[in-house]
């Protein structure tokens, strides 16, 4: 039987799990009104916190949870499939939990861990800027998969699988520079981003610098905050605005293929051509980068290998073969039709 | 705590849930070897069938399960989001279960129902050709969402939300005929398909007939069975073969947008143009149909409205306001750049 978790209650109430926990524990730091609302939902749903001795006894189930931010991102589809297969091959059961963009995935994980007696956790995608203190509250092994870490964490305290987002982004922009582009616009994450968005943006800046090109803030465009991030729609909307300015540029580097697809469409609608008028480069290596017209120059992440390695590390941690591991995969620069040389 | 279900055990063993059930119940219709293997996995995982009185007592959780075939299909992404929101708004918890293409979703549902004490089920996508007898084994309300029903079921025995796949497919092909196309190739499902694939294919045949065009079997192409169905890769591979034949055609009707994207890419790689050399039409109205170059003529399904109606009907069933309901939404023919008139 599927028991309700504190996460379900939190979602129903539209609050965080910590707030639900406070309500249940008579914590002073919560308004009476909020507490009453939460307790009403708890009562209506017959929710019982799952920490009694009876439940501890029944903890034999071997479950691995995958917490994913942004399930609509096609980048994750192949990875989820591999996770499911590999976890089942190990005779564990697989539990997929979506985390909303505004939810704190560590809080969610801490509660899931208690409720579901997890044996391991994979954090997939999204931002990750939690305090070491908070990470330490996780008591089962976990692996951060395709998450950019920009904060300074002690590498001995966690495991990860990713590409080097800074370096691979640098390589893409360096490639464009080598093709004679000096006016390269970027579509990137918000400036307060602390994950892959920041790393890819820093790679862009460094590549320009090393190629002797002055940084021009007019060519830096952030995704719209009122549109889902990393979508074709976002790239399209940003590029339409970009084309309306007087600022000159010869190339657009979008930090994901979806954004690049949107950028191409905006250029084509403006009566311009890719790559004749503007070169467009993406990142990720999604299927669509091959099938789009023109096909997209991109930096392909080896998603299947990365997913397999994530599970391998997780089970090495569970079986205490290792204490931590950081695996960085190389990405592959694939030059296709959407970029051209100016030389 | 997440308890293991019979479905997890079945997946781990690589067998159906019925087989696991047989193993546990000493059913004669199972080999000793298979039974031993299953019982070993059950033992290792400390799996306990979830039908004791103690568990029945703890059945207060209000859970709606969504069973989805083909989670990698972008068509479902928007719908899943709406399901999650609407179910949480009703203060129920939302449980998403993937069903593999070779799994029987009714068997999975029957077991989930027992294990998780569901209050309702949504079947999303995929094939549906189960006996009435089997459907009757479901004891909680359920809605079939975006599933084509080709078999004759008693309409009083189930509820559904969909477009009229036959009629909307007819409209698309009729539109192409009205543009002067008489040699229209189709990329469709396998000939033994009994779901939306069959309905859309029948719509194609009827539209040709009503336009006085002879059916030409050489222009009927089925998706490759060794490639994931309804993917860009599948449409691409089929179209490459199609272009190598001597058979003449002026238009390709692909029964999904993903297939149409693959078809366009194959045409472009062959040095031909869309729509100058070949018109290409899709179905579904995915985001990519707008952003692709050329943008795709398609039949857009109102996915958000369909998802909302699915949940509305399910709760009307749960609250016994209705006994069944069949809601058919109109699709919208969107003419874009990928098709042209020959007149």
Q: With CB atoms and an 8 Å threshold, state whether A50 touches B1.
A: yes
Chain A residues touching residue B63 (CB < 8 angstroms)? 2, 4
- Shared domain for A273 and A198, answered yes or no, is yes
Residues B299 and B164: beta-carbon distance below 8 Å: no
Q: How many CB atoms lie within 10 A of CB A44?
A: 12
Chain A residues touching residue B62 (CB < 8 angstroms)? 4, 45
CA distance B232 to A338: 19
**Domain contains A183:** yes
Task: Provide φ and ψ at B293, rounded to 5°.
Answer: -125, 110
Q: Is B46 left (phi over 0), alpha (psi -120 to 50) or beta?
A: left
* Buried b / exposed e along A163-200 (16+ C-beta atoms within 10 A): bbbbebbbbbbbbbbebebbebbbbbbeeebbbbbbbb
* 3-class secondary-structure state, position A163: strand
The total number of structural domains in chain B stands at: 2
- Shared domain for B169 and B297, answered yes or no, is yes
Q: With CB atoms and an 8 Å threshold, state whether A61 touches B288.
A: no
pLDDT score of B249 more than 90: yes
Tell the residue number behind the tokens 């579901």, with chain if given. A116
Task: Provide φ and ψ at B84, rounded to 5°.
Answer: -60, -45
Closest CA to A101 of A193, A218, A1, A36: A193
Residue B91 has its nearest CB partner, among A44, A81, A95, at A44
Tell the residue number behind the tokens 């189960």, with chain if given. B130
What pLDDT sits at residue B55? 37
**CATH code for the domain of A12:** 1.10.260.40
- Shared domain for A273 and A146, answered yes or no, is no
What pLDDT sits at residue B277? 98
Four-residue CA torsion sign, B262, B265, B270, B276: positive
What pLDDT sits at residue B185? 98
Q: Which residues of chain A fall short of a pLDDT of 50? A: 1, 51-60
CB-based contact, B139 to chain A, within 8 Å = no
B275-296: average pLDDT: 97
What pLDDT sits at residue A342? 97
CB-based contact, B8 to chain A, within 8 Å = yes
- Shared domain for B43 and B169, answered yes or no, is no
CA distance B314 to B82: 14
The whole-angstrom distance between A240's CA and the closest CA on chain B is 13
- Shared domain for A177 and A82, answered yes or no, is no
- Shared domain for A121 and A241, answered yes or no, is no
Summarised one tens digit per residue, pLDDT across range A160-199 is: 999 999 999 999 999 999 999 999 999 999 888 878 899 9
* 3-class secondary-structure state, position B251: strand
- Shared domain for A245 and A159, answered yes or no, is no
Give the CA angle between residues A216, A222, A223 to the nearest 5°.
155
B120-135: average pLDDT: 80
B273-298: average pLDDT: 97
Q: In what order do the strands lie in the sheet with B220-222?
A: B220-222, B184-188, B251-254, B279-281
- Shared domain for A181 and A238, answered yes or no, is yes
Which pLDDT band, with edges at 50, 70 and 90, does B11 fall under?
Answer: confident
Window B:225-244, CB contacts with A under 8 Å = 231-233, 236
Mutation site, B230, B293, B307, interface A, largest A CB count within 10 A = B293
* Buried b / exposed e along B139-148 (16+ C-beta atoms within 10 A): ebbbbbbbbb
Chain B residues touching residue A115 (CB < 8 angstroms)? 1-2
What pLDDT sits at residue A58? 40
CA distance A71 to A48: 29
CB-based contact, A3 to chain B, within 8 Å = yes
Q: Encoding tokens for residue B143? A: 């809605």
Q: Encoding tokens for residue B57? A: 């007592």
Question: What is the percent of chain B with per-residue pLDDT over 70, rounded to a whole number?
Answer: 90
Average pLDDT across chain B, whole number: 87
Residues A326 and A155: beta-carbon distance below 8 Å: yes
Residue A334 carries which DSSP code? E
**Domain contains A340:** no
What pLDDT sits at residue A74? 78
Domain region containing B261: 165-301
Which pLDDT band, with edges at 50, 70 and 90, does B100 fall under?
Answer: confident
Higher pLDDT, A60 or B141: B141
Q: With CB atoms and an 8 Å threshold, state whether B291 touches A71.
A: no
Residue A3 has its nearest CB partner, among B61, B71, B84, at B61
- Shared domain for A176 and A271, answered yes or no, is yes
- Shared domain for B170 and B44, answered yes or no, is no
CA distance A243 to B62: 51
What pLDDT sits at residue B223? 96
Q: What residues does A254 pair with on adjacent strands?
A: A187
Q: With CB atoms and an 8 Å threshold, state whether B77 touches A60.
A: no
- Shared domain for A246 and A258, answered yes or no, is yes
Q: What residues does A163 pair with on adjacent strands?
A: A329
**Domain contains A341:** no
CA distance A95 to A118: 9
CA distance A166 to A205: 10
**Domain contains B83:** no
CA distance B251 to B341: 10
CA distance B131 to A82: 33
Window A:91-130, CB contacts with B under 8 Å = 91, 93, 95-96, 98, 115-118
Summarised one tens digit per residue, pLDDT across range A197-242 is: 999 999 999 999 999 999 999 999 999 999 988 999 999 999 999 9
Show the DSSP H helices in B148-195 as ranges. Answer: 165-178
pLDDT score of B1 more than 60: no
CB-based contact, A323 to chain B, within 8 Å = no
- Shared domain for A206 and A136, answered yes or no, is no
Largest Cα span, chain A: 73
Going from the C-alpha of B301 to that of each of B127, B177, B307, B309, the distances in angstroms are: 18, 22, 11, 13
Summarised one tens digit per residue, pLDDT across range B255-273 is: 999 999 999 999 999 999 9
**Domain contains A230:** yes
Mutation site, A1, A9, A79, interface B, largest B CB count within 10 A = A1
**Domain contains A337:** no
CA distance A77 to A87: 16
**Domain contains A274:** yes
**CATH code for the domain of B217:** 3.40.50.2300
What pLDDT sits at residue B192? 85
Show the DSSP H helices in chain B as ranges. Answer: 6-13, 17-24, 32-44, 53-57, 75-89, 105-116, 132-135, 165-178, 196-210, 232-244, 257-269, 287-291, 303-318
CA distance B120 to B142: 6
What pLDDT sits at residue A59? 40
Residue A58 has its nearest CB partner, among B1, B236, B288, at B1
Q: What residues does B221 pair with on adjacent strands?
A: B187
Q: How many CB atoms lie within 10 A of CB A218?
A: 13
Say if strands A298-300 and A332-334 run parallel, antiparallel, or are unpaired: antiparallel
Q: What DSSP element (H or E) covers A68?
A: strand A63-69
**Domain contains B45:** yes
What pLDDT sits at residue A53? 32
Q: With CB atoms and an 8 Å threshold, state whether A71 touches B61.
A: no
Going from the C-alpha of B198 to that of each of B28, B166, B188, B227, the distances in angstroms are: 38, 8, 8, 19
């Amino acid at each position: 039987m599927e028991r309700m978790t504190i996460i379900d209650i939190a979602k129903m109430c539209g609050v965080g799990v910590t707030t639900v926990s406070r309500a249940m524990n008579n914590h002073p730091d919560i308004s009476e009104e909020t507490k009453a609302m939460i307790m009403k939902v708890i009562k209506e749903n017959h929710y019982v916190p799952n920490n009694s001795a009876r439940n501890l006894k029944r903890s034999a189930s071997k479950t691995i949870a995958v917490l994913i931010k942004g399930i609509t991102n096609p980048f994750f589809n192949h990875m989820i499939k591999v996770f499911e297969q590999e976890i089942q091959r190990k005779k564990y059961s697989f539990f997929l939990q979506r985390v909303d963009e505004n939810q704190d995935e560590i809080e969610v994980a801490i509660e899931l861990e208690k409720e579901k007696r997890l044996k391991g956790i994979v954090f997939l995608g999204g931002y990750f800027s939690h305090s070491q203190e908070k990470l330490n509250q996780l008591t089962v092994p976990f692996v951060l998969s395709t998450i950019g870490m920009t904060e300074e964490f002690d590498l001995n305290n966690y495991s990860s699988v990713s590409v080097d987002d800074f370096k691979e982004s640098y390589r893409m922009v360096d490639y464009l520079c080598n093709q004679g582009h000096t006016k390269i616009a970027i579509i990137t994450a918000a400036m307060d981003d602390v994950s892959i968005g920041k790393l890819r943006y820093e790679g862009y800046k460094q590549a320009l610098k090393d190629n002797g090109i002055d940084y021009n803030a007019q060519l830096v465009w952030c995704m719209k905050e009122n549109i889902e991030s990393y979508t074709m729609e976002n790239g399209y909307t940003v590029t339409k605005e970009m084309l309306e300015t007087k600022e000159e540029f010869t190339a657009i580097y979008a930090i994901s293929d979806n954004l690049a697809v949107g950028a191409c469409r905006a250029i084509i609608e403006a009566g311009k051509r890719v790559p004749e008028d503007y070169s467009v480069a993406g990142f990720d290596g999604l299927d669509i980068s091959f099938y789009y017209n023109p096909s997209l120059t991109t930096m392909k992440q080896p998603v299947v290998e990365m997913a397999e390695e994530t599970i391998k590390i997780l089970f090495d941690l569970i079986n205490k073969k290792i204490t931590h591991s950081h695996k960085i995969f190389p990405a592959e620069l694939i030059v296709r039709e959407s970029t051209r040389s100016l030389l």
